Structure 1
Amino acid sequence: MKGRQRMFIIDAMSRTPVYEQLIEQVETMVLTGVMKSGDKMPSVRSLSGELSINPNTIQKAYAELDRKGLIASVPGKGSFISENAMDIIGNDKREQAADLKDLIGEMKLAGVTKQEIMKIIEEVYG
């Protein structure tokens, strides 16, 4: 880990479980281009040491990333970002649009105006 910036940051005070924080950070790094298809993931042992986290927690995150198809494990070589990770994450986010629609509906019922929602969208999209 010498000479490189820490990739993962864990918020011990967060209500989000550590393994989910790791998954979210991998997804964000793929979406922002920090990690690309074929990039090697840190080993479970090295990441466990770097973050002072139980290796089983790291393994749980890696198993979920593998299940989602975002990483591929190569025996004896390690885990790598899969070729279609970006597409998988994009499709997952599109599926979440239904949840967003429900949330916007709830916001409307609570009196949040369309203009307020549009302002938030403009802030995100710039």
Structure 2
Amino acid sequence: MHQVEQALRLGVLIPGDQLPTIKEVVADLAINPNTVAKAYRELMREGLVAGRPGLGTFVQRSLGGGVTADHTAHRRDLARWVRGCREAGLDHEDMQALFTSVLTTRVGRRPGPAAAGGARHSVAPQGRQALGRPGGAGRADRRRGQAT
């Protein structure tokens, strides 16, 4: 279901496109047919796809805003950002946390309690070291066995 929603958001699937049959998905992904049927029912319930008896399941509407050309430029920028993060020694979880913190923060404002996942609190000096702030080895440096 998530793959279909992502394809709808990115413009890979557009209204009128036919989804693969449950049998085809099961053969390609080796997952339980009930799981696929449940996902298709959920997509139908959300009005994203509709079944046509004897013909298959078809996309009814897309998700997201903007046009595919906009997505292409943003995807290119994001790929550049990911390369820079990898070069800086960040792993998948580091990048995901960083991206999520920016995504949930209003531009020009510091994250509030909801964006930070709880109440604001002070970090003791030893906590700053563990977070890779001045006064201690950063996470990427610790992986390489270097101190900052």
Following TM superposition, by how much is the alpha carbon of 1:105 offset from its aligned partner in structure 2, in angstroms?
A: 5.7
Over the residues paired in the alignment, what is the CA RMSD in angstroms?
2.4
Following TM superposition, by how much is the alpha carbon of 1:109 offset from its aligned partner in structure 2, in angstroms?
A: 1.9
Show structure 1 runs of 5+ residues with no match.
Answer: 1-22, 88-99, 112-126
Cross-structure match for 2:13: 35
The one-character-per-residue Cα deviations of 1:54-82 (angstroms, maximum 9, x if unpaired) are 11110000000100111111000000111
Secondary structure of the residue that 1:79 maps to in structure 2?
A: strand
C-alpha contact (below 8 Å) 1:71/1:85 kept by paired residues: no
Cross-structure match for 1:103: 114
Q: d(CA) in 1 for partners of 2:17 and 2:4? A: 11
Show structure 2 runs of 5+ residues with no match.
Answer: 65-103, 106-112, 123-148
Following TM superposition, by how much is the alpha carbon of 1:86 offset from its aligned partner in structure 2, in angstroms?
A: 2.2
Runs of 4+ in 1 over 3 A off after TM superposition: 100-103, 105-108
C-alpha contact (below 8 Å) 1:71/1:80 kept by paired residues: yes
TM-score, normalising length: structure 2:
0.46
More helix by share: 1
TM-score, normalising length: structure 1:
0.53
Q: Which has the higher contact order (CA 8 A, sep 6+)?
A: 1
Aligned length: 77
Percentage of matched positions with identical amino acids = 36
